[in-house]
């Protein structure tokens, strides 16, 4: 029989998220605001900047190396991307997978996106693709019971490793 442990905190988190990121009184999504902040990539944990999209570490990662591939232009769905943006996005996702495999040697990876607020998308107005390295046993009772994630390295160290591993395809 399959046993389930529910993470009810996730439902509350999604329900409390603003309908649009800019609803907090600022214009644009958190990604747009970050890009226009003038902050250095080292400070923002941007790993790579491409032609139409960039790669950034997730500030709330499931595991070390959890990347987000994000178009520069604020678009809420795949059909809003231009052909050039679509090609660049998926080429960058593919390259991010290669970089994570080379740098972290995970046993597997999750690649995906949440389109729209009901899907669990916490930033529904600016699509982003999650690329998450996975290992057997990387989730455990800490996240399921105590709402705590354990990570073995700081984000700055993760970003440094991934920048060094980001070689042209």
Determine phi and psi for 55, rounding to 5 degrees.
-120, 130
CATH code at position 74: 3.30.428.10
Please list the active-site residues: 128
The verdict on residue 145 lying in a domain is: yes
- Count of residues making up the chain: 169
**Do 50 and 156 contact (CB within 8 A), yes or no?**
no
- DSSP for 20-58, please give it: SGGGGSSSS-HHHHHHTS---HHHHTEEEE-SSEEEEE-
pLDDT in tens, 118-133: 777 678 889 999 999 9
The verdict on residue 77 lying in a domain is: yes
Structural domain count, the chain: 1
The model's confidence at residue 13, banded by pLDDT at 50, 70 and 90, is very low
The verdict on residue 155 lying in a domain is: yes
Give the per-residue pLDDT at 26: 61
pLDDT in tens, 69-112: 999 999 999 999 999 999 999 999 999 999 999 999 999 999 99
Range of the domain at 90: 25-165
């Amino acid at each position: 029989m399959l046993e389930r442990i529910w993470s009810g905190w996730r439902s509350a988190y999604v329900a409390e998220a603003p309908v649009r990121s800019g609803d907090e009184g600022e214009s644009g999504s958190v990604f747009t605001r970050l890009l226009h902040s003038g902050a250095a990539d080292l400070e923002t944990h941007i790993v790579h900047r491409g032609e139409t999209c960039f790669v950034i570490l997730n500030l709330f990662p499931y595991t070390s190396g959890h990347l987000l591939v994000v178009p520069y232009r604020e678009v809420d769905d795949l059909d809003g991307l231009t052909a050039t943006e679509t090609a660049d996005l998926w080429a960058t996702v593919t390259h991010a997978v290669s970089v994570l495999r080379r740098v972290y040697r995970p046993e597997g990876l999750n690649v995906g996106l949440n389109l729209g607020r009901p899907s669990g998308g916490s930033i529904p107005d600016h699509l982003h693709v999650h690329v998450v390295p996975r290992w057997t046993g990387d989730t455990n009772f800490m996240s399921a019971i105590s709402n705590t994630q354990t990570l073995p390295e700081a984000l700055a160290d993760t970003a440094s490793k991934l920048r060094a591993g980001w070689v042209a395809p």
